């Protein structure tokens, strides 16, 4: 496959064969070498073949091989001639990140760090098969699927200000529960308000470095050592089942002949099936917003109980990094509504976009990039440049470089816990084997990923956060 280097951090696969548009990869030399080792590049090329794709098939700096679309893939499709694909969103619909700031400094919580983490571990259900504390009726679930985080706030989980600082105000308006299977609903009922397992985590973090003091201040990040809380999870079994169901339905309806990969299965956006998937996906997005809203609320409760106050624990932002959204972008000099798929990519709107909270309108949208367990996470800010470069998108995390098997062979959970403890990081987990699988050495260097984002201006560096306490599902 031809790969052309356009500039230091930009690579392109020129249009050839079935490709309707070129594919473009944002990566350093080190990261492009990693992308070449798996199917990331051929998957980006496959996406470029899909009907109605506009401009280019984009690949973010943290990309790796996925199913159909690469993880870290961004593609925008025409609403009339284009498609929507469950494989372009991913199984974990609205897997995303929420970040809370506090007025506490590291020194304020040092003595109570263990207690804080233990209490959070008690309050926030985590791990496989662990149900939430709320027993939902099907009717309440339907309400959540339509209202998202708004439902949670109505029930007393958090405040209206949280909604202002959530993508889509915590509610995708096109959501509907009508086309969601019983199986998906059943999987959703016991799991609301749970963190889950795998790469999902909740961390108490501190500010380690501030790169842009002005933007940081606008976000509520004031100084080094300031304590924050990051929550990384998604729509749980409900979203996974919706993806599985619609892959089957689309395959039964349209077949996969002519597709280079079965997981690229799709439906025309405006078709009945395309709309059913889109509305169900929006409902799963809402479920995930409600999920993170509840978890954030419990974290505040724990701070209030252990530290005496949760004053100043304001939400900085909540982003989705597995989603398809209808957004306005400029194509060939004309403004157009497009269906933007971001699979393992974060929206990165610059200043002035009407979708971002008013308080951030002057600076741009906060972009939250979680690291792997025990390593740094980053706050970036969206840019105007990203609109032209990637339909306003940037990276979403680190991405694995080592299989789970290999990680299990090389590491032991207890040993990771002890090493983190030496660095002053507390760890609580439901399974030590699970911790070993998620060892940070099994992940890409997130520092390199955000450096490329910053240099290319896909999203600019604001602050670096490091963990003090880690909770794994």
The reply to whether 244 sits near other proteins by the rule CB under 8 A is: yes
- State which H helix or E strand residue 71 sits in: strand 71-78
Nearer to other proteins, 307 or 407 (CB): 407
Rounded to the nearest whole angstrom, what is the least distance from the CB of residue 91 to other proteins in the complex?
4
The reply to whether 350 sits near other proteins by the rule CB under 8 A is: no
Rounded to the nearest whole angstrom, what is the least distance from the CB of residue 246 to other proteins in the complex?
12
Using CA atoms, how far apart are residues 452 and 25, in angstroms rounded to an integer? 11
CA 70 to chain centre: 14
The reply to whether 246 sits near other proteins by the rule CB under 8 A is: no
The reply to whether 401 sits near other proteins by the rule CB under 8 A is: yes
Rounded to the nearest whole angstrom, what is the least distance from the CB of residue 150 to other proteins in the complex?
26
How does DSSP classify residue 305? Answer: H
Which of 104, 115, 6 has its CA nearest to residue 56?
Answer: 6
The neighbouring-strand residues paired with 327 are: 338
The reply to whether 45 sits near other proteins by the rule CB under 8 A is: no
| Contact pick of 46, 94, 166, 191 for other proteins (by CB under 8 A) | 191
| Contact pick of 198, 260, 351, 424 for other proteins (by CB under 8 A) | 198
Nearer to other proteins, 251 or 385 (CB): 251
Residue 396 annotated among the catalytic residues of the structure = yes
Beta strands in 377-443 (DSSP E): 377-382, 393-394, 426-429
Using CA atoms, how far apart are residues 433 and 264, in angstroms rounded to an integer? 33
The neighbouring-strand residues paired with 98 are: 231, 318
Using CA atoms, how far apart are residues 87 and 48, in angstroms rounded to an integer? 14
Strands 83-84 and 267-268: antiparallel
Rounded to the nearest whole angstrom, what is the least distance from the CB of residue 204 to other proteins in the complex?
23
| Contact pick of 38, 103, 355, 385 for other proteins (by CB under 8 A) | 38
Rounded to the nearest whole angstrom, what is the least distance from the CB of residue 262 to other proteins in the complex?
4
Alpha helices in 38-76 (DSSP H): 40-47
Nearer to other proteins, 197 or 285 (CB): 197
The reply to whether 341 sits near other proteins by the rule CB under 8 A is: no
The reply to whether 93 sits near other proteins by the rule CB under 8 A is: no
| Contact pick of 166, 241, 348, 390 for other proteins (by CB under 8 A) | 241
The reply to whether 263 sits near other proteins by the rule CB under 8 A is: yes
Q: Which range of residues in 292-300, 304-312, 388-396, 433-441 is near other proteins by CB under 8 A?
A: 433-441
Give phi and psi for 135, each to the nearest 5: -95, 115
Burial string for 16-55 (b: 16+ CB within 10 Å, else e) reads eeebebbbbbbbbeebbebbeeebbbbbbbbbbbbebbbb
Residue 81 half-sphere exposure toward CB, CA atoms < 13 A = 7
Burial string for 194-220 (b: 16+ CB within 10 Å, else e) reads bbbbbbbbbbbbbbeebbbeebbebbb
Binding mask 267-296 for other proteins (x = CB under 8 A): ------------------------------
Rounded to the nearest whole angstrom, what is the least distance from the CB of residue 330 to other proteins in the complex?
34
CA 12 to chain centre: 25
The neighbouring-strand residues paired with 83 are: 268
| Contact pick of 190, 364, 374, 397 for other proteins (by CB under 8 A) | 190
Q: Which range of residues in 58-66, 294-302, 355-363, 385-393 is near other proteins by CB under 8 A?
A: 58-66
User: Of these residues, 64, 169, 200, 396, which one is catalytic?
Assistant: 396
Residue 193's SS3 state is: coil
Q: Which range of residues in 150-158, 196-204, 293-301, 312-320 is near other proteins by CB under 8 A?
A: 196-204
Write out the catalytic residue numbers: 396
Chain positions contacting other proteins, by CB under 8 A: 38, 64-68, 71, 91-92, 127-129, 131, 183, 186-187, 189-191, 196-198, 237, 240-241, 243-244, 247-248, 251-252, 261-263, 399-406, 430-434, 437, 473
């Amino acid at each position: 496959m031809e790969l052309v280097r356009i500039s230091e951090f930009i690579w392109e696969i020129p249009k050839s064969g079935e490709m309707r548009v070129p594919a473009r990869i944002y990566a350093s030399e080190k990261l492009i070498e990693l992308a070449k080792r798996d199917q990331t590049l051929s998957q980006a090329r496959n996406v470029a073949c899909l009907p109605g794709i506009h401009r280019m098939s984009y690949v973010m700096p943290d990309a790796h091989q996925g199913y159909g679309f690469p993880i870290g893939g961004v593609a925008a499709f025409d609403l009339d001639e284009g498609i929507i694909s469950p494989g372009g969103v991913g199984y974990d619909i609205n897997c995303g990140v929420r970040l809370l700031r506090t007025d506490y400094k590291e020194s304020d919580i040092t003595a109570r760090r263990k207690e804080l983490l233990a209490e959070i571990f008690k309050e926030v259900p985590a791990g496989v098969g662990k149900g939430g504390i709320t027993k939902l009726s099907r009717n309440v679930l339907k309400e959540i699927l339509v209202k998202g985080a708004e439902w949670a706030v109505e029930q007393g989980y958090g405040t209206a200000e949280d909604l202002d600082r959530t993508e889509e105000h915590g509610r995708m308006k096109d959501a509907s529960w009508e086309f969601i299977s019983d199986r998906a609903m059943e999987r959703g009922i016991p799991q609301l308000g749970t963190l889950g397992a795998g790469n999902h985590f909740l961390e108490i973090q501190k500010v380690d470095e501030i790169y842009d003091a002005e933007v940081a201040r606008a976000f509520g990040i004031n100084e080094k050592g300031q304590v924050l809380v990051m929550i990384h999870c998604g729509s749980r079994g409900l979203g996974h089942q919706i993806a599985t169901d619609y892959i089957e339905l689309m395959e039964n309806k349209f077949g996969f002949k002519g597709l280079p990969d079965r997981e690229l299965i799709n439906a025309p956006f405006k078709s009945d099936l395309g709309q059913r998937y889109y509305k169900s996906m929006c409902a799963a997005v809402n479920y995930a917003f409600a999920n993170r809203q509840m978890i954030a609320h419990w974290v505040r409760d724990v701070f209030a109980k252990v530290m005496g106050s949760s004053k100043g624990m304001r939400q900085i932002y909540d982003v989705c990094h597995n989603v398809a959204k209808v957004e306005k972008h400029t194509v060939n000099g004309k403004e157009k509504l497009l269906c933007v798929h971001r699979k393992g990519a974060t929206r990165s709107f610059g200043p002035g976009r009407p979708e971002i909270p008013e308080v951030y309108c002057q600076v741009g949208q906060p972009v939250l990039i979680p690291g792997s367990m025990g390593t740094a996470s980053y706050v970036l800010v969206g840019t105007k440049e990203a609109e032209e470069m990637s339909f306003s998108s940037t990276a979403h995390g680190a991405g694995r470089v080592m299989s789970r098997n290999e990680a299990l062979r090389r590491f032991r959970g207890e040993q990771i816990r002890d090493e983190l403890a030496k660095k002053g990081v507390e760890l609580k987990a439901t399974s030590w084997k699970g911790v070993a699988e998620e060892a940070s050495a099994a992940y890409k260097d997130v520092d390199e990923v955000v450096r490329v984002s910053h240099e290319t201006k896909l999203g600019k560096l604001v602050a670096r956060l490091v963990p003090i306490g880690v909770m794994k599902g």
